[in-house]
Amino acid sequence: MQIETELKKAIQNEQLSLFYQPKVDLHTERIIGMEALLRWEHPDLGSISPVEFIPVAEETGQIVSIGEWVLLQACQQNKKWQEQGLPSLCVSVNVSVLQFQHGQFLETVQIAIKESQLDPKFLELEITESIMQNFKESNEILKGLRQLGIKTSVDDFGTGYSSLTVLQKLPIDTIKIDKSFVDELEKEGHNFMVKTIIDLSHNLELNVVAEGIETDRQMKILKDNSCMIGQGYLFSKPVAADELEVLLREEV
Ligand code: G
Ligand code: G
Ligand code: NA
Ligand code: MN
């Protein structure tokens, strides 16, 4: 398949890059962190979405080396911003289940921290609910990450397989409300899932972040229900590193 062969060359030919989407405090609308999102610009095929190539990379195992590159790149970029005197914020990196459960994951994270010299408290890993199907293994990895001082969040929460028992036992820090539930807030009387997830997060003493906020109305309902942090086009799309730098300068 074309994507597979082209993907092999993508890293060495510097076709991959990271974009960053701000996470904001919904009350002050100030930036409190950023999520790194992978972009692939192919010279002939143009830009290819991670929705297309991440599944291929997972099937072929290429996700492991791509994931290593993403982690190091995000840590180095965050360190660079801090050294420039910009606010010290947490960068969130998406981690595929396959990468997470790959034997060397903890070592990979440690290497990225060591090589970048980033204080581990400024790194967060976003994983999906699917890691819960392997409780024992996932629990060990999460415990290891916590020992390293790295934060974790459950991405796309509410869309996948989640056991409340498992969720309660796992050492995670944050729940991210999936965009599909935030979308629902545009409809009168459709705030049930959002409210439920926020209450659940608070009861489990976890932070909660809403994703995909596009309207003032969605933001208002989230704030009214005590969700303090969000991200979405209302504030900013994912942008290139130099553009994020401009946004961070406005924060100083
Ligand atoms: O930003 P965007 O709409 O293109 O992201 C599409 C999907 O790709 C999202 O589900 C996002 O989590 C995933 N994705 C983006 N970057 C990465 C990455 O670096 N690693 C993994 N595993 N998934 C990513
Ligand atoms: O699966 P994950 O939550 O990592 O996916 C994030 C995806 O959502 C990225 O592709 C990102 O570009 C996209 N995204 C972020 N904010 C918004 C938004 O407000 N609206 C839409 N449509 N997509 C968004
Ligand atoms: Na994410
Ligand atoms: Mn998500």
Q: What is the mean pLDDT of residues 58-75?
A: 96
Q: What is the pLDDT of residue 191?
A: 93
Look at the chain and report how many structural domains it folds into. Answer: 1
CB of 99 within 8 A of CB of 70? no
Q: What is the pLDDT of residue 12?
A: 86
Residue 252 has pLDDT above 80, yes or no: no
Q: What is the mean pLDDT of residues 94-104?
A: 94
**Residue range(s) defining the domain that contains residue 60:** 2-249
Residue 60 has pLDDT above 90, yes or no: yes
* Nearest protein CA to atom 18 of ligand 2, as residue: 212
Percent of the chain with pLDDT over 70: 100
Q: Express each pLDDT in 41-57 by its tens digit.
A: 999 999 999 999 999 99
Asked if residue 77 has its Cβ within 6 Å of ligand 1, the reply is no
How close are the terminal C-alpha atoms of the chain, in Å?
A: 47
CB of 18 within 8 A of CB of 36? yes
Asked if residue 49 has its Cβ within 6 Å of ligand 1, the reply is yes
Tell me which ligand sits closest to the C-alpha of residue 178: 4
Q: What is the mean pLDDT of residues 129-148?
A: 96
Ligand 2 pocket mutation pick from 20, 21, 54, 99 by most atoms within 8 angstroms of CB? 21
Neighbouring C-alpha atoms within 13 Å toward the C-beta of 206? 24
Q: What is the pLDDT of residue 58?
A: 94
Percent of the chain with pLDDT over 90: 93
Tell me which ligand sits closest to the C-alpha of residue 156: 4
Closest atom of ligand 2 to 238 CA is: 12
Cα 179 to ligand 4 centre (Å): 7
When pLDDT is cut at 50, 70 and 90, the band that residue 161 belongs to is confident
| CATH number of the domain encompassing residue 187 | 3.20.20.450
Residue 25 has pLDDT above 70, yes or no: yes
When pLDDT is cut at 50, 70 and 90, the band that residue 162 belongs to is confident
CA pair distance 49, 47, nearest whole angstrom: 7
Tell me which ligand sits closest to the C-alpha of residue 159: 4
Ligand 1 pocket mutation pick from 38, 62, 71, 237 by most atoms within 8 angstroms of CB? 38
Asked if residue 92 has its Cβ within 6 Å of ligand 1, the reply is no
CB of 231 within 8 A of CB of 21? yes
* Burial per residue of 40-66, b for 16 or more beta-carbon CB atoms within 10 angstroms, e otherwise: bebeeeeebebeebbebbbeeebbbeb
Residue 6 has pLDDT above 70, yes or no: yes
When pLDDT is cut at 50, 70 and 90, the band that residue 1 belongs to is low
Residue 62 has pLDDT above 90, yes or no: yes
Q: How does the average pLDDT of the chain come out, rounded?
A: 96
* Nearest protein CA to atom 13 of ligand 2, as residue: 212
pTM summary value = 0.97
